[in-house]
């Protein structure tokens, strides 16, 4: 099971700062990067041992490209795709609290949903 629970909801004390679009954007970007990196880390942790010894599909260059910025978003999606291909077919994914991002960031959430959805629908995950 892969799970992500966003805790980026704005508290009452943050309402004044939330009026600042820079602050809102920073929170959204941080949440998105946390989402992608968390799913990657969890998926790697769930890989069977036989896969850990064969990392051909996860290049060091791809992993180095994950620099914590939104500019590395496409690289993060590629790494997530590669890791999901190595995962066993049975995989449950729970994503919660992403509604706090708002519609302006929906495209990024859709990107993750497409990657995960393709993995689930294709059944092309590894079976061990």
Residue 111 lies in a domain: yes
Residue 128 lies in a domain: no
Torsion from C-alpha of 81, 85, 86, 87, nearest 10 degrees? 90
Residue 9 lies in a domain: yes
For residue 31, give both structure tokens.
């949440």
Distance CA 74, CA 70 (A): 9
pLDDT digits (tens, 9 = 90+) for 61-78: 788 889 999 999 999 999
Residue 99 lies in a domain: yes
Total domains in the chain come to 1
Residue 12 lies in a domain: yes
Residue 51 lies in a domain: yes
Helix (H, G, I), strand (E, B) or coil at 69: coil
pLDDT digits (tens, 9 = 90+) for 111-123: 999 998 887 776 6
Eight-class DSSP state of 93:
E
The range of the structural domain enclosing residue 21 comes to 2-122
The pLDDT of residue 127: 39
Eight-class DSSP state of 68:
S
Residue 127 lies in a domain: no
């Amino acid at each position: 099971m892969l799970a992500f629970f966003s805790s980026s909801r704005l508290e009452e004390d943050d309402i004044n700062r939330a009026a600042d679009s820079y602050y809102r954007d920073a929170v959204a970007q941080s949440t998105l990067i946390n989402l992608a990196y968390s799913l990657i880390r969890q998926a790697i942790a769930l890989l069977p041992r036989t896969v850990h010894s064969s990392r051909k599909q996860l290049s060091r260059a791809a992993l180095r490209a994950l620099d914590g910025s939104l500019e590395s978003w496409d690289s993060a999606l590629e790494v997530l795709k590669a890791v999901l291909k190595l995962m066993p077919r049975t995989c449950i994914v729970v994503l919660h609290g992403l509604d706090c991002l708002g519609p302006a960031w929906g495209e990024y959430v859709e990107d993750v949903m497409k990657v995960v959805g393709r993995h689930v629908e294709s059944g092309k995950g590894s079976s061990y």
